[in-house]
């Protein structure tokens, strides 16, 4: 049985699979465009999106603003009529300007997490760009949807639930991740129920997508049975030919063992799931000096005097130098992957 299309406002998502945003330099135009071309939703990560631009070392912000348009144009040229959007962390320095720039270039959607995107509706006002918050609890969903309804008289176009088995930053406490895994199915049902309240209030559908540890079709079917309209997946797209990450980065995914997957502390103030390597061993006992600030995080998320390392520097190391000496985020099931594939083959496997 094939998966059925999902309506997101006036957009139609042919296959209800969102390719999660992965930065720095992992999900850019080639991957996002290819996923969208094959019926899914392709998401470009805004995290230091201009890292390859000639302006980047002198002016990261200007390079990123230029790269947003460049990457989106290329992705849409690949995607044809497919849905392409951006992932923007709320913790991003000049977050509002990044959102407005993505709207300006015509983004189909914006997905925003790493904090609650309270002001997102006003930043996309008057545009056709669809918006989705990332939440990890019923409480966060209630707070956000209630605030949007009261302050802006609108609701989310769709919603992403990020569970505790996701790669990258997690919306859970360090000591509560295992408990959250056990209780996540029940939490999903509660969040779906909350969105239904606002669907009725605004007389519209708010599709819910689950993210975090989704590996195969049986996982997709499981979350559909809990009331979700689809899923968001990231880890499995890394080992596709179309993924923008370099070969050495992809090889770390292919070689990862179950015992290599660790929870680390991120300068953002959240726990994160990554593949163990020289870098993760180093930060267990000492800080890594910050060579240069590239203004990636807002001031309330980054204190240069106390953070254990610069997250931009370590993510850049992984895609421009040596992945063993940088931060390689990955989901909990990365150890199951043992071969390269292509986006068309992966989408076919997951959808049929």
pLDDT at 253 over 90: yes
Place of tokens 């130098």: 321
**Helices (H) then strands (E): counts for the chain:** 12, 13
Topology, domain 6-245+338-351? TIM Barrel (3.20.20)
Mean pLDDT, rounded, for 47-61: 94
Spatial separation of the C-alpha atoms in residues 76 and 140, rounded to whole Å: 32
Q: What is the pTM assigned to this prediction?
A: 0.96
Tell whether the model's pLDDT for residue 40 goes beyond 80: yes
Q: What is the predicted pLDDT for the residue at 159?
A: 98
Residue 302 has pLDDT above 80, yes or no: no
- pLDDT of 298 above 90: no
Q: What is the pLDDT of residues 2-21, one digit of tens each?
A: 799 999 999 999 999 999 99
**pLDDT (0 to 100) of residue 29:** 98
pLDDT at position 174: 78
Check residue 240 and report its DSSP letter: B
- 185 against 285, higher pLDDT: 185
Give the per-residue pLDDT at 300: 64
Q: For all residues of the chain together, what is the average pLDDT?
A: 94
Domain limits, the chain = 6-245+338-351, 247-336
Q: How far apart are the C-alpha atoms of 56 and 67, rounded to whole Å?
A: 10
Local confidence band at 289 (pLDDT 50, 70, 90 cut-offs): confident
- For residue 43, the Cα-to-chain-centroid distance in whole angstroms is 8
Residue 322's pLDDT is 94
Chain segment 147-159, per-residue pLDDT in tens: 999 999 999 999 9
Three-point CA angle 6, 119, 70, nearest 5°: 65
Q: Measure the CA–CA gap between 260 and 329, rounded to whole angstroms.
A: 11
Contact 206, 195 (CB under 8 A): yes
């Amino acid at each position: 049985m094939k998966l059925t299309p999902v309506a997101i406002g006036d957009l139609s998502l042919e296959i209800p699979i969102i390719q999660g945003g992965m930065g720095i330099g992992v999900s850019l135009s080639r991957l996002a465009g290819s996923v969208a071309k094959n019926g899914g939703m392709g998401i470009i990560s805004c995290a230091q999106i201009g890292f390859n631009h000639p302006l980047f070392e002198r002016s990261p912000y200007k390079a990123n603003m230029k790269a947003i348009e460049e990457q989106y144009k290329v992705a849409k040229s690949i995607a044809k009529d497919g849905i392409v959007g951006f992932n923007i962390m709320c913790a991003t320095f000049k977050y509002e300007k990044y959102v407005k720039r993505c709207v300006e270039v015509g983004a189909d959607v914006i997905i925003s997490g790493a904090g609650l995107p309270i002001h997102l509706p006003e930043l996309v006002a008057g545009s056709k760009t669809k918006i989705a918050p990332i939440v990890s609890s019923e409480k966060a969903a209630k707070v956000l949807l209630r605030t949007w309804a009261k302050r802006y008289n609108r609701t989310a176009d769709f919603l992403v639930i990020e569970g505790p088995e996701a790669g990258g930053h997690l919306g859970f406490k360090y000591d509560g991740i295992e408990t959250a895994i056990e209780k996540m199915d029940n939490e999903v049902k509660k969040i779906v129920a909350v969105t239904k309240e606002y669907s009725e209030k605004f007389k519209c559908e708010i599709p819910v997508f689950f993210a975090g540890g989704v590996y195969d079709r049986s996982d997709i079917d499981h979350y559909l049975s809990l009331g979700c309209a689809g899923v968001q997946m990231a880890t499995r797209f890394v080992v596709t030919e179309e993924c923008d990450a370099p070969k050495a980065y992809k090889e770390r995914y292919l070689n990862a063992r179950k015992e290599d997957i660790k929870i680390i502390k991120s300068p953002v103030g959240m726990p994160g799931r990554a593949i163990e390597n020289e870098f993760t061993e180093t930060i267990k006992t000492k800080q890594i000096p910050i060579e240069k600030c590239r203004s990636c995080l807002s001031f309330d998320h980054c204190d240069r005097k106390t953070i254990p390392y610069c997250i931009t520097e370590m993510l850049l190391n992984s895609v421009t130098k040596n992945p063993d000496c940088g931060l390689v985020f990955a989901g909990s099931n990365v150890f199951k992957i043992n071969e390269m594939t292509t986006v068309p083959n992966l989408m076919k496997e997951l959808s049929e």
